[in-house]
Structure 1
């Protein structure tokens, strides 16, 4: 079994770069010296639990994020093997393929609408955008007062802070992908 402490430096460096932080800025946020942070990133030093708590608290991350194994560069996901969520009396089948990740800022859903499906989504926060790509069937989408008929293959984007309704008043199943960007 791989020692999880080997991953700490990689995670720290990745987070620091994604946030555009220098070692000096990360040091000020965490209360851990710039030299120590550099040693941890290079794998020259394994932090104590106390030091790791300071880093995770200062960077507003979970402690366990530093200890989890680094994700592979690629991952194949069998959507049919994912646990489905059901809405609209079981006529809307939603698969959360890529759950929300605060570093990436989006989540991805694979959605099936059976004939007769109707789902009204609550408005999201004002900085949210939705991207829909219809790959099978015809999706009836209402955003605020605007109605869109999206026949596969077609796509649309809209601000998520509006009331939006997904429906399938037709006889054929609808399949669409939904990316929500925060």
Structure 2
């Protein structure tokens, strides 16, 4: 199932109009319409904003039709990947399930001399861990910038502005994101998975 169709299905299940989801996610109504009609593929940032607004994990949107199993072998070419070419960032998702109560594990790459846009604080706080495999990554969290080198790990939460940028070398890293449990959302929505 295409991501646009999945977004539309979740939006309708939650009784949200395009305008309401637009306001909640800070994604324009016209962009949401194009995504839902499978005319545009959303960037990493937009998928994150929509998933936070819908209060579902990114993998739920990307991997909606995959059944939960006690064992699942994913071939190297079959991992879900989001790319954001303008920022030089790509994320290949390693974890197979999209449940809010499971971590989202991804392998990230950033091209040399590239930077992401500023990621704003999210509507609900996630816990994030990054481990640098190759190169260096400059990670701006609020007013502080951390220079992460090979072998370094970094923990942060999404309650402040974040931005990633690289210097002259390509950076490879693992990322683990934990979403809060449903009970922490103070929401009456029964549609969370």
Counterpart of 2:94 in 1: which secondary structure?
strand
Native 8 Å contact 2:101 2:178 kept in 1: no
Native 8 Å contact 1:88 1:117 kept in 2: no
Counterpart of 1:89 in 2: which secondary structure?
helix
Residue in structure 2 matching 1:136, options 134, 137, 144: 134
Native 8 Å contact 2:87 2:115 kept in 1: no
Native 8 Å contact 2:106 2:176 kept in 1: yes
Q: Residue 107 in 1 paired to residue 104 in 2?
A: yes
Post-superposition Cα deviations, 1:21-75, rounded to whole Å, max 9, x if no partner, equal: xxxxxxxxxxxxxxxxxxxxxxxxxxxxxxxxxxxxxxxxxxxxxxx8651x333
CA RMSD of aligned residues (A): 2.2
Post-superposition Cα deviations, 1:131-159, rounded to whole Å, max 9, x if no partner, equal: 11111110110000111011011101011
Unaligned runs of 5+ residues in structure 1 are 1-67
Unaligned runs of 5+ residues in structure 2 are 1-65, 180-193
Moved more, 78-87 or 89-98: 78-87
Aligned counterpart, 1:96: 93
Distance in 2, matches of 1:116 and 1:80, equals 27
Aligned counterpart, 1:8: none
- TM-score, normalization: structure 1? 0.54
Q: Over alpha carbons, which structure has the higher Rg? A: 1
Q: 1:127 to 1:69 in 2, by over 3 A?
A: closer
- TM-score, normalization: structure 2? 0.51
Structure with the higher fraction of residues in strand conformation: 1
Q: Residue 162 in 1 paired to residue 128 in 2?
A: no
Residue in structure 2 matching 1:75, options 69, 72, 75: 72
Distance in 2, matches of 1:69 and 1:151, equals 37
| Residue 85 (structure 1) shift | 1.8
Q: 1:149 to 1:69 in 2, by over 3 A?
A: closer
| Residue 121 (structure 1) shift | 2.0
Q: 1:145 to 1:156 in 2, by over 3 A?
A: same
Distance in 2, matches of 1:181 and 1:123, equals 15
Aligned counterpart, 1:42: none
Distance in 1, matches of 2:87 and 2:161, equals 21
